[in-house]
Amino acid sequence: MLDIKNLTATAGGTEILRGITLTVNAGEVHAIMGPNGSGKSTLAQVLAGHPSYEVTGGSVTYKGQDLLDMEPEARAQAGVFLAFQYPVEIPGVTNAYFLRAAYNAKRTAQGLEELDPMDFLDLLEEKLKLVEWGPEIMSRAVNAGFSGGEKKRNEILQMAVLEPSLAILDETDSGLDIDALKIVANGVNALRRPDSATLLVTHYQRLLNHIVPDRVHVLAGGRIVRSGGKELALELEERGYEWLTDAAGAVA
């Protein structure tokens, strides 16, 4: 599904990713953990095609395609979805319009007919149930004035509508209360398919209780310094990152 090899990237001239290698197979959930500023969001944004990061080396293959060669919109249309750590407010564009535009862009790319507003509303009704929201949210401008938790939930709603093959969730659990965390986790689990994969960036074991990862990776200083099974997350919870980052520093 996703094959990242030796990926290096810079922002504003500073090297942030220093050689990431990671393979995610269909059906798998991988968790990416690591200290603040280690490059987790950068990796997520680079995969989504954010123009402010420059890829300086390595390759990313997604479903056999060179992902780095694709425009951000083409990546999304091909099934890559990034739930932002900081979802963006778009005043003046309603959630309903935004979701339909995104949904129809994907359909158009697949050579399918666009869905008209009425049919789309039916589809939305289903998706809203998944995040336990009423329809009121649809007439509000995208994320404008949303609380931190509502913004995260809105990311999951978008994911539910777009049904991605590769979902990258960047700290979607941060800032959620316990109930909202369950809603988000249930949403992610409900959207898992044998032919889709999930990359979860998180700081907390508690999310991994709900979404059980196949692999856990620790990113530090722009490199993966440790990979393991789900028990690695528990170990991190206990011991913190220092023992790993020290080791990484010693290696470098």
Partner 1 sequence: MTATAPRATEPGWLAALRREGAARFEALRFPTTRDEDWRFTDLAPVAKANLGAARAAGPLTEADLTPYLFGHAEWPRLVFANGRFQAELSRLTGLPAAARVEPLADLLADAPELVEETLGQLAVQPASAALVAQNAAGFTDGYAIVLPAGAVVDTPIHVLFVSDANAVLGTTLPRNVVVLGANAVASVVESYLSLADGVALTNTVTEASLGEGARFDHCKVQREGAEAFHLATFDARQERDSYLNSFSFAEGAAISRTNIYTTLAGPGAHATLYGLYLGEGRQQVDHQTRIEHAAPDCTSWEVYKGILDGHSHGVFNGKVYVHPEAQKTDGKQTNKNLLLSETAKVDTKPQLEIFADDVKCTHGATVGSLDAVPLFYLRSRGIPEDEARTLLTYAFAADVLEEIRSRPVVDHLEDLMRAWLAKAGRRGRAAAGRESA
Q: Kindly state whether residue 148 participates in binding ligand ATP, applying the rule CB under 6 A.
A: no
DSSP tally for the chain: helices H, then strands E = 9, 12
Q: Binding-site residue total for ligand ATP (CB under 6 A)?
A: 14
User: What is the number of the residue whose Cβ is closest to Mg ion?
Assistant: 41
d(CA 159, CA 113): 20
Binds 42, which of Mg ion, ligand ATP, partner 1, none (CB < 5 to 8 A, cut-off by type)? ligand ATP
Task: Name the residue among 63, 27, 24 with its Cα closest to residue 193.
Answer: 27
Among the listed ranges 34-42, 62-70, 159-167, 213-221, the one in contact with Mg ion (CB under 5 A) is 34-42
Task: Give residues 111-140 in contact with partner 1 (rule: CB under 8 A).
Answer: none
**Alpha-carbon dihedral sign for residues 196, 160, 81, 21:** negative
Q: Could you tell me the two tokens for 37?
A: 């500023």
Q: Kindly state whether residue 37 participates in binding ligand ATP, applying the rule CB under 6 A.
A: yes
Least distance between partner 1 and beta carbon 60 (Å)? 15
Q: Which is nearer to Mg ion, 229 or 240 (CB)?
A: 240
**Alpha-carbon dihedral sign for residues 116, 121, 127, 128:** positive
Q: Kindly state whether residue 14 participates in binding ligand ATP, applying the rule CB under 6 A.
A: yes
Task: Give residues 64-93 in contact with Mg ion (rule: CB under 5 A).
Answer: 85
Q: Which is nearer to ligand ATP, 62 or 241 (CB)?
A: 241
d(CA 25, CA 193): 12
Which of 52, 111, 178, 250 binds ligand ATP (CB under 6 A)? It is: 52
d(CA 177, CA 48): 27
